[in-house]
Amino acid sequence: MKKILPLILAAALTVSAFAGCSSQQKNGTVSTDGSTSMEEVIGVLGEAFQEKYSGMTFTYNPTGSGSGIQAVKEGRCDIGLSSRSLKEEEKADGLTETVLAYDGIAVIVNPENKLDDLDVETLAKIYTGEITNWSDLGGNDAQIVVIGREAGSGTRDGFESITGTEDACKYRQELTSTGDVITTVSQNPDAIGYASLAAVSDQVKALSVGGISPSEATVKDGSYCIQRPFVLVTKTGTELSDAAQTFFDFVLSDEAAPLISKAGAVPVK
């Protein structure tokens, strides 16, 4: 009997272990579409999700916030990704937003630029064409090359609404992704742009705004003023598939919060 008991306990533990594993063996596909600014965050979350649920397939189509919102509306993806809040007309059109995290919009210049700080009022004057030369701000005698995102971009919407420059910006270039903005600014010593803080690398220099540097801490405490939400967009009153619901619950869980922080954003939790 003494020899049999350990065998019974071992068998029970084995069954328990398999039961624990089976709870992770869900199958299905979840598709997301939208914000290029959310690439770092959604990439980390998607990878962790597939590691936890080995039978799941996760896809992300980086098309921009406006396109992602439209994709949900038309049923072309399970969950849309937007780096701006939904507009009232979009909510009235049958869409629901759930805030996943908050992200700072960094104002970026080439590393050769002498300046380290600008305030919101000055940024507005640069982007509307009132200030056109870096020498007016204590920099080199060179025309300011104003870089921004395309119409429909959540990053552009956030930046323009905060700086009060909606429909008034005079861009030299309007680019279709966060990565393109960063690359373009990194290659032009006279350029200025804006990009998701989560995506900023040492290719460019992020300016402080009104004396406050963009960081997870300053976004979280609200002291860095140029920030916006990262939003999950779903159809109002329509149940997600089992796979999509599992992903939705996972990315909003306590387990996902450290992953969001690691990707450079501030989790809601």
CATH number, domain at 243?
3.40.190.10
In order, the DSSP letters of the chain are: -TTHHHHHHHHHHHHHHHHHHHTT---EEEEEEE-STTHHHHHHHHHHHHHHSTTEEEEEEE--HHHHHHHHHTTSSSEEEESSPPPHHHHHTTEEEEEEEEEEEEEEE-TT----EE-HHHHHHHHTTS--BGGGGTS-SSB-EEEEEPTT-HHHHHHHHHHT-TTT---SEEESSHHHHHHHHHT-TTEEEEEEGGG--TTSEEPEETTB---HHHHHTT-S--EEEEEEEEETT-PPPHHHHHHHHHHTSTTTHHHHHHTTSEE--
Confidence of residue 156 (pLDDT cuts 50, 70, 90): very high
Render pLDDT for 22-65 as a digit per residue (tens, 0 to 9).
446 789 999 999 999 999 999 999 999 999 999 999 999 999 99
Is there a single domain that holds both residue 129 and residue 203?
yes
Domain contains 58: yes
Do 210 and 239 lie in a common domain? no
pLDDT the model gives residue 8: 35
pLDDT over 60 (residue 119): yes
Residue 233 CB coordination number (10 Å): 26
Q: Quick one: angle between helices 39-52 and 242-251, nearest 10?
A: 120
Backbone dihedral angles phi then psi of residue 138, each to the nearest 5 degrees: 95, 10
In a domain, 115, yes or no: yes
- Are 140 and 248 in the same domain? no
Query: pLDDT per residue over 61-101, tens digit each?
Result: 999 999 999 999 999 999 999 999 999 999 999 999 999 99
19 domain-assigned: no
Residue 254 forms part of a structural domain: yes
Average pLDDT for residues 193-211, to the nearest whole number? 95
Tell whether 3 is covered by a domain. no
Please report the DSSP string for 189-251 in residue order: TTEEEEEEGGG--TTSEEPEETTB---HHHHHTT-S--EEEEEEEEETT-PPPHHHHHHHHHH
The closest of 153, 174, 163 to 84, measured between CA atoms, is 153
- Please indicate, yes or no, if residue 14 is contained in any of the structural domains: no
68 & 166 share domain: no
Query: Which pTM does this prediction carry?
Result: 0.76
Domain assignment of residue 10, yes or no? no
Q: How many domains does the chain have?
A: 2
In this structure, the answer to whether residues 111 and 160 fall within a common structural domain is: yes
Please determine, for residue 7, whether its predicted confidence score (pLDDT) is greater than 60: no
Length of the chain equals: 269
222/123 same-domain check: yes
The parent domain of residue 60 ranges over 29-102+229-267
Asked whether residue 110 falls in the same domain as residue 221, the answer is yes
pLDDT band, residue 264 (cuts 50/70/90): confident
Strands 117-118 and 173-175, sheet pairing? unpaired
Same domain flag for 89 and 169: no
189 and 210: one domain? yes
- For residues 76 and 118, membership in a common domain is answered with no
| Distance in angstroms (rounded) separating the CA atoms of residues 15 and 152 | 52
The answer to whether position 2 is within a domain reads no
Whether residue 114 sits in one domain with residue 39: no
pLDDT for residue 14: 37
Whole-number average pLDDT of the chain: 91
Q: Which residue has the higher pLDDT, 26 or 239?
A: 239
Based on the fold, state whether residues 109 and 210 are members of the same structural domain. Answer: yes
